[in-house]
Structure 1
């Protein structure tokens, strides 16, 4: 599904959030690879589960055509610096919810980009009769957890010892959800 482009100006940075388009596929492939190397908050290590340009073209096509999917990009000076995605299910028992994921280049943390990608996704979900948004967050990502709580998400479960990070230790994954009454 597509949304209307939105402009933001926070802490001296001007950026746009809009729906991803086919010409964004290469930049999204490059960005996802870069993000995997910048933080351990994702499931993947750098280079794992690589999605090439053709793979992102397919994702963008599916998300554009599906009423329960949306792929957004954050753009600064014509450069994609972040993205988010909500993915729903065609199964009737799961059609009321979507799973949300987000990533922003570390250089652009602190400008509300992740928050605004999530807020735009929430607004889209609310306007399209999606009752529930779910997400997963690593237990060490306190900043993200606090943001999600501020935006109405609550903890629904914990996957204990779910991820093994570079320090060799195991960490929990927190499952959070937001229900629109």
Structure 2
């Protein structure tokens, strides 16, 4: 497996990866909701590549994109030490340690970049993800009550953080 920064020529495959991950029901986008075009995705990849404290890394396995981790760093003096994470792994590649490797990669990147706080939100019912994040040293910081509507019902999310 190779973990690397995303490239513009990954845009189409990255979009398909995201659409597949959205099908899990545990991401912010509803299944089928993502309407991003390949051109819009290329522009987003280009934009993030110019941000000093943000990055998008992909896991490549068997010449296919298997997962990703996006890091969105703070832009103001008061929050530039922190970054928000979004993580997703294609269901066909679950159980291979991809998420763990992506998170470890970001830990190293964060230290090199001067980021000392990583944070994320996770749907409270996503027990597998919560267990992974806790194994990686993240702690629940709080709960966002009724932060999402899933299939017409309110769902809560946990705020989680890790100091690196």
Normalized against structure 2, the TM-score is what?
0.92
| The one of 2, 15, 21 aligned to 1:35 | 21
| The one of 44, 55, 61 aligned to 2:40 | 55
The equivalent of 2:160 in structure 1 is 176
The equivalent of 1:164 in structure 2 is 149
Alpha-carbon distance in 2 for matches of 1:174, 1:31: 24
Alpha-carbon distance in 1 for matches of 2:2, 2:147: 34
- Pairing of 1:86-97 with structure 2 (within 5 A): 86-97=71-82
Q: Number of aligned residue pairs: give it.
A: 164
* Structure 1 runs, 4 residues or longer, greater than 6 Å off: none
- Pairing of 1:11-26 with structure 2 (within 5 A): 15-26=1-12
Unaligned runs of 5+ in 2: none
| The one of 43, 51, 56 aligned to 1:71 | 56
Mapped contact 1:75–1:82 kept (Cα < 8 A): yes
| Residue 95 of structure 1, CA deviation | 1.0
Alpha-carbon distance in 2 for matches of 1:149, 1:76: 25
For 1:93, what is the secondary structure of its paired residue? coil
| Residue 59 of structure 1, CA deviation | 2.1
The equivalent of 1:11 in structure 2 is none
- Pairing of 1:137-156 with structure 2 (within 5 A): 137-156=122-141
Instruction: Name the Cα RMSD after superposition.
Output: 1.4
Mapped contact 2:4–2:57 kept (Cα < 8 A): yes
Normalized against structure 1, the TM-score is what?
0.84
Unaligned runs of 5+ in 1: 1-14
Summarize deviations over 1:95-140 as a string: whole Å, max 9, x none: 1111100111111111111111111111100121101111011111
Alpha-carbon distance in 2 for matches of 1:21, 1:125: 20
Alpha-carbon distance in 2 for matches of 1:48, 1:112: 28
Pair 1:117 & 2:102 matched? yes
Summarize deviations over 1:132-158 as a string: whole Å, max 9, x none: 111011111112112211222111110
| Residue 75 of structure 1, CA deviation | 1.1
The equivalent of 1:12 in structure 2 is none
